[in-house]
A and B are shown apart, each in its own frame.
Chain A
């Protein structure tokens, strides 16, 4: 499992996260939600070792501060919000970068399968820099998937850290990408996703951490977290959770009352 304990992050003099604790289990899609500037991405970046923090983060029982880059890379892959590339790589070459750390026997085959999974088969020869933002995001997802292709290997779960994986995508590809993440978790891997869209979160997440002003308000199952009062407090606007006739949850911010506050 992934366990973050008493994480405090300071950027300059400002404390972004205050003693945050968070955990995620393999076999689950754990979503981190909260308003802009609440510290979602900062928490994710602390847990991937990208920024300085106090506290402890362990991944599969290993402290990430003392683990080596290649040890961590064999157990978790990270999808950033956007990845600008410096040089004219082809799509094939970008995805194969994900296999840098691995010893996959059939690298070319894995590249093709990863691209198929994100719906970009046939894009191998295109230049990454000529793709749209949404296509680039899915190429990066293919790269990240190829890095930890097996959700469980040698009895150890693999992890996907996704920073707003669907922010650049249309609704069809949003569902596709969330389904890929969900399938990964269902196969025994762990998925941690920073999410903006509460409806998608409601549909796919097994566990939700709600962050507000640098603290975790609540981490629990979706039905516990997605409550009118909690969400309204976190997002500073009136949110009403409705259940549609078919199974599933959707939420509507109650626009009329924003002016009233």
Chain B
């Protein structure tokens, strides 16, 4: 907090300059994320007793075996995965919106999520046809792996279609994204039609999205891509700010537009692919989080991306906590929680901000 105070002293307050507020919000969101992580560790179907466990741990006391297993093998990987997935979805949304210069853009829009979904559905419906040896080797990871491959494949295909002579046309990419989304949707529909009852049940749960299946191996599988993608994102901030004025203006301002666009596309594909692969379709985080932050502290990507990561992680953890306790001891898939909370909230933002969105 002392850093924030120093900023107050050294920087005179200027009208229209929201950098100071954005930095303060970063501290606030970081605190909020720590709070959400503690809550996520302490709350669950096994009752509130783990508050004592967290407290014991903080005091350096030994945990009981049961508490230790619940905390370290179930809740900790789940919390870390929530942080990774929430941050990945929110930052992917913010980067995609900056790239497309459209506050309503989302990785779902350009078929990245649809590609991941097709991959998962192929794995669920046709996975049984694979040779037994491969099934045994891949095992539980077949669905997440296929979802990940699907999102990468869609992104690369989309990129090939919309790039000519080293220039990516955002308009072509949006339209191609819609076409690819329809195509993958149709293929997915055909596969769903072929699926039997058990497969349909599996498909439904995957589609709703959940952090419930979090394990250390899943966390390890998803974290390298997400961590790399998130570490690249701060370097995109300057370029995305320039792109808000249009590609030509950005280039006139000295921004290497093509490099920025390539890096943004790769970043989004990596983060979204990995996030969708381990958590299924969790909607609205990438749409609501950046939007909310733009309302609070403005669209400067220098602060928007970091703040999106923090708020996305915190909100997803809170949604996960709600999904765990609302029909305890059963669990509601988290995608239902984010859609139930995020949908009306987003509509409310749209109605309130209609004037600013009309362009």
Contacts and interface: CB of A to CB of B under 8 A. Distances in A.
A69 B256 contact: yes
A49 B238 contact: no
Contacts of B251: 49-50, 69
A124 B17 CA distance: 8
Interface string B289-300: 000001100111
B252 A78 contact: yes
Interface string B119-133: 000000000000000
B254 A70 contact: yes
B294 to A, nearest CB: 6
Contact of A93 (B246, B300, B355): B300
Residue among B18, B102, B245, B253 having the largest count of chain A Cβ atoms under 10 Å = B253
Contacts of A97: 241-242, 244-245, 253
Given A70-B254, A97-B241, A100-B241, A89 B356 contact: no
Interface string B273-305: 000000000000000000000110011100000
Interface string A81-97: 00111111111110011
Interface of B: 12, 14-18, 101-103, 238, 241-242, 244-246, 248-249, 251-257, 294-295, 298-300, 355-356, 359
A124 B15 contact: yes
B241 A125 contact: no
A87 B300 CA distance: 9
Given A86-B359, A92-B15, A93-B17, 13 more contacts: A69-B255, A72-B254, A76-B252, A77-B252, A80-B246, A80-B248, A87-B103, A92-B17, A97-B242, A97-B245, A124-B16, A127-B356, A129-B359
A interface residue count range (under 10 / 10 to 19 / 20 to 34 / 35 or more): 35 or more
Contacts of B241: 97, 100
16 contacts: A49-B251, A50-B251, A69-B256, A72-B254, A77-B252, A80-B246, A80-B249, A84-B359, A92-B16, A93-B16, A97-B241, A100-B242, A100-B254, A124-B15, A129-B356, A147-B253
A138 to B, nearest CB: 15
A73 interface: yes
Contacts of B12: 108
A56 interface: no
Residue among A80, A100, A126, A129 having the largest count of chain B Cβ atoms under 10 Å = A100
Interface in A123-140: 124-127, 129-130
A255 to B, nearest CB: 37
A86 B253 contact: no
Contacts of B257: 69
Contacts, number: 108
A72 B255 CA distance: 10
Contacts of A112: 14
A99 B268 CA distance: 27
A76 B252 CA distance: 8
Contacts of B238: 100
A88 B299 CA distance: 7
Contacts of B295: 88
Interface of A: 45, 48-50, 68-74, 76-78, 80, 83-93, 96-98, 100-101, 108, 112, 124-127, 129-130, 147
Residue among A48, A69, A80, A92 having the largest count of chain B Cβ atoms under 10 Å = A69
Contacts of A108: 12, 14, 17
Contacts of A92: 14-17
A90 B298 contact: yes
A89 B244 contact: yes
In the complex, the 3 A-B pairs of residues with the closest C-beta atoms, listed nearest first? A73-B254, A92-B16, A101-B254
A127 B253 CA distance: 21
Nearest to B300: A93
Contacts of A101: 253-255
A88 B254 contact: no
Given A69-B256, A87-B294, A125-B15, A50 B242 contact: no
Contacts of A49: 251
A88 to B, nearest CB: 5
Contacts of A78: 248-249, 252
B7 to A, nearest CB: 13
A78 B17 CA distance: 24
A149 B15 CA distance: 21
Given A50-B248, A125-B15, A89 B299 contact: yes
Given A93-B18, A93-B298, A100-B241, A88 B253 contact: no
B102 A90 contact: no
Nearest to B14: A108
Contacts of A89: 244, 298-300
Contacts of A93: 16-18, 298-300
Contact of A85 (B17, B245, B254, B300): B245
Nearest to B248: A50
A88 B252 CA distance: 21
A90 B295 CA distance: 12
Contacts of B252: 48, 72-73, 76-78
